[in-house]
A and B are shown apart, each in its own frame.
Chain A
Amino acid sequence: MNAIRVLGQMVKADFKERARRTSFLVTLAFTVFVGYETFAGGIVINLDKYRGVYNSAWVGALMAAVTSCFLSLVGFYIVKGSIERDEQTRVGRILAATPMTKAFYTVAKALGNFAVLSSMVAVMAVAAVLMQLLRGEDRVVHLWALLGPLVLIALPVMAFVAALAVLFETLPVLRGGVGNVVWFFAWMALLVAGAPPAAGNGPHYAARVEFADFTGLGTIFSSTRETMLKINPKFTDSFSFNIGGMRPTEKFVWNGIDWTAARIAGRLEWAVIALLAALLAAVFFHRFDPARAGLARRRKNPEAPAAGEQGVVQEVAGFGGAAAAWSGMLTPLARVGGRTRFGHLVVAELRLTLQGQKWWWYAGAAGLFIGCLSSPLVAGRGDVILAAWIWPLLLWSQMGSREARWGTGALLYSSPRTLGRQLPAAWVAGVLVTMATGGGLAIRLLLARDAAGLEGWAAGAVFIPSLALALGSWTGTGKWFEAIYTAWWYIGPLHHIRNADFMGTMAASNTPVLFVALAALLMASCWVRRRTQLGYA
């Protein structure tokens, strides 16, 4: 009983700590936006040319699908970082000195994450009620039909995401930016694994997918299919869930999911997996032991021992020169802070950006540079540059957030002309890293006198660090850049989507002016943000 009370207190404190941050309001605002988009018809479920009448069942299923498909991706990035926060605030050290077990802690953290994600589900539930009433196609609210899908489809997904975020945080490799990228692709894999079938495969689908249906779309599909076949026996199993896609022309009445034991088990499976993931996290959790936490840091930088380890830098006591005159040890300086040191500052920023990189990172970058240079122009522009411009992802993601992450803001912001000099220098350093890693393609394009291609490349070189700097400045963390860039890289350049392909990977998708303009906007937003960070700008 006492354990449950303690667990409750931990979850409550964790939730309150996050709920009182401005970022939580942004999270809820984003959820409201998604809810509104659904209401406005921007996100729809189609069965052939049909959609359901907006009754409680259909609205509930639609909201559950939106939550489990989209908020699961974003939710991971929202909740990931709860253990890191305990580390940074040093609350973790206090907790580590209590009798609390590691499993208890990781489960509590997962529940804290779940509480945050549940609040997003609650917003979607309110949105669902409003949507049904405002749409007015059926004003009778059946609570279970409306909320059942959110409870049995969305909440287990959120539990899974909550626990997985904790598991990622305890695994040294997945703790940082690599984990943020991995989650994007894992999420895609989960979507695909549970995706409804191609037309005509419906009969085989239900049995196969029951336990791989992460998003719950399979459950919605198999249930709506039963109704659909009664209305239209020639239904071809055409089922789609999309944003801004074709709007259905016909409507049918669907009264909700028949929650059989198998279906409920299929959903609760994700909650069980969540619990297992939270318990597995306990195996890897370092319990804030600086020696174990240092293992990860040493892997990253063998020169960097952790405090408390045998390899810790030997304490060197006191100040130099015992009884000597201290001030005599310092040569007076002429006035400093001149206006001619911008290049020097760029070099300093560049060194800071590249700090701690290993030989293999440079080897990989060099390989990609040569790859861009030596590949046929089409391949270089289309494929190799894609790899070259995801390679420095973790360097870019430090931009703008470094000061918040390491607590050096006060040192920096009390220095002269941070706004006019340091911010541009940080941006130039980012551009130089981008240009260097993708430089092979630029040379190739120059040699081929491909001016349009070169413009696309240059636009990418200024756009990427601008995006990184802007997101880092505003969020104070690199994870949003890692998430958004990876998704954008996948959607735009990889699929050569016009107006989304910031690398200009193909002539047809090359829109350099757009991305230069976007880069300018992003840098303007950085300037505004930095201005607010400075007491006096």
Chain B
Amino acid sequence: MKLSIEGVGKSYRGKAWALKAFSLELGPGVLGLLGPNGAGKTTLMSILATITRATEGRVVWNGADVAKDPDRLRAVLGYLPQDFGVYPNLNAVEFLEYLAAVKGLDAATARRRIDELLNLVNLSDVRKRPLGGFSGGMKQRVGIAQALLNDPELLIVDEPTAGLDPEERVRFRNLLSELSGERIVILSTHIVSDVEATATDIALISDGRLVAHAAPEELLRSVEGRVWEWVVASADLQRVKEAFRVSSTARRSDGVRVRVLTEDPPKGAQPAVPTLEDAYLDALALHRAGVTA
């Protein structure tokens, strides 16, 4: 099972490039696609989900060019778009039955699968209620269920935790981790903690370009020994922000605890254990400074 993204680029109406020369090779596991808003994540997801055509480059699924045979990929694809709608007069079962038919599942298999999925996303009790009355989080779970209808080999989820409460978010991350065993899962998000919990591989994207592709441990190593913390007076915070690359701040009774990324630690600073957020911010800052990580 292999998905290759080979020099893919996308420009809209021949103007700005939302994605440029993006290459990546993926096998089973969870790829966390991390990047700021507007980085090109959704464009890449749409290309991989065969919704939109790449302007340049190609996507290859198990050796076959997706542009030449998109249905080969679609048959094994589960896709949860960032924005999607539902038919408000259908209930969850009817909606999933419809999409199961579109995806080519026979009626008996679809019924069994829908039962399992509704149990999984805990919507069995409201299975006969029209979707028009569902909350955002419940609709999102219907979206997750539809993405898993055909037991996909490639699961693409674009900002999947939007609309989920903190508990649901944790559970969904666990679900993704478990599902990833024999399939490729691409999780696109700008929430670092989502990726931290699930990804076996991380791709950082910014301004439509691949900034870094590495295992989480590797990214963490890249900032090892460069993360420092110390407490400063509130009045000094602005000066510190101007002098250092600040990763985070937290108010305390004795001032503000500041976390910075730097080669030369300021006086009184203590070394800190790097997090993925530190590595992410560092990579983005380096990229923006014109240096690819």
Q: Does B38 contact A (CB under 8 A)?
A: no
Beta-carbon contact of A406 and B74 below 8 Å: no
Given the known inter-chain contacts A326-B174, A335-B75, A535-B47, please indicate yes or no for A348 contacting B89, CB distance below 8 A. Answer: no
Query: Inside 8 A of A312's CB, which chain B residues have their CB?
Result: 133, 135
Closest approach, in angstroms, between the C-beta of B183 and any C-beta of chain A?
Answer: 10
Beta-carbon contact of B88 and A332 below 8 Å: no
Task: Render A125-160 as a binary contact track against B, CB cut-off 8 A, 1 for contact.
Answer: 000000000000000000000000000000000000
Q: How far is the CA of A320 from the CA of B178 in the complex (A)?
A: 14
Beta-carbon contact of B50 and A536 below 8 Å: yes
Chain A at the B interface: SS class? loop
Beta-carbon contact of A351 and B75 below 8 Å: no
Query: Inside 8 A of B60's CB, which chain A residues have their CB?
Result: none
Q: How far is the CA of A348 from the CA of B77 in the complex (A)?
A: 20
Q: Does A367 contact B (CB under 8 A)?
A: no
Q: Does B85 contact A (CB under 8 A)?
A: yes
Beta-carbon contact of B87 and A402 below 8 Å: yes
Query: Inside 8 A of B86's CB, which chain A residues have their CB?
Result: 406, 408
Q: How far is the CA of A317 from the CA of B137 in the complex (A)?
A: 8
The interface on chain B, measured as residues whose beta carbon lies within 8 A of the other chain's beta carbons, has a size of 72
Given the known inter-chain contacts A303-B130, A534-B50, please indicate yes or no for A407 contacting B102, CB distance below 8 A. Answer: no
14 contacts between A and B (CB under 8 A): A297-B132, A305-B132, A320-B120, A326-B178, A330-B113, A336-B151, A337-B75, A341-B104, A344-B107, A351-B97, A351-B98, A408-B86, A417-B74, A534-B70
Within 8 A of B (CB), among A410-434: 410-418, 421-422
Beta-carbon contact of B71 and A320 below 8 Å: no
Q: How far is the CA of A341 from the CA of B103 in the complex (A)?
A: 9
Q: Does A325 contact B (CB under 8 A)?
A: yes
* Cβ-defined partner of B102 (8 Å) among A317, A348, A351, A406: A348
Q: Does B150 contact A (CB under 8 A)?
A: yes
Question: Which residue of chain A has the shortest Cβ distance to B117 in the bound complex?
Answer: A330
Q: Does A249 contact B (CB under 8 A)?
A: no
Within 8 A of A (CB), among B228-265: none
Question: Which residue of chain B has the shortest Cβ distance to A312 in the bound complex?
Answer: B133
Other A-B pairs beyond A297-B88, A303-B129, A336-B75, 11, CB < 8 Å: A307-B135, A319-B121, A320-B122, A330-B116, A331-B113, A352-B98, A406-B85, A410-B51, A411-B81, A414-B74, A415-B99
Interface residue tally on A, bucketed by range: 35 or more
| Chain B residues in the interface with A (C-beta under 8 A) | 46-47, 49-53, 66-67, 70-71, 74-77, 79, 81, 83-90, 94, 97-99, 101-107, 109, 112-113, 116-117, 119-126, 129-130, 132-135, 137-138, 141, 146, 148, 150-151, 165, 167-168, 171-172, 174-175, 178-179, 181
Q: Does A233 contact B (CB under 8 A)?
A: no
Query: Inside 8 A of A408's CB, which chain B residues have their CB?
Result: 84-87
Within 8 A of B (CB), among A299-341: 300-301, 303-307, 309, 311-321, 325-327, 329-333, 335-339, 341
Query: Inside 8 A of A448's CB, which chain B residues have their CB?
Result: none
Query: Inside 8 A of A536's CB, which chain B residues have their CB?
Result: 50, 53, 66-67, 70
Beta-carbon contact of A416 and B74 below 8 Å: yes
Beta-carbon contact of A337 and B104 below 8 Å: yes
Beta-carbon contact of A415 and B120 below 8 Å: no
Interface core residue of A307, A413, A415 (most chain B CB under 10 Å): A415
Beta-carbon contact of A306 and B133 below 8 Å: yes
Q: How far is the CA of A412 from the CA of B132 in the complex (A)?
A: 19
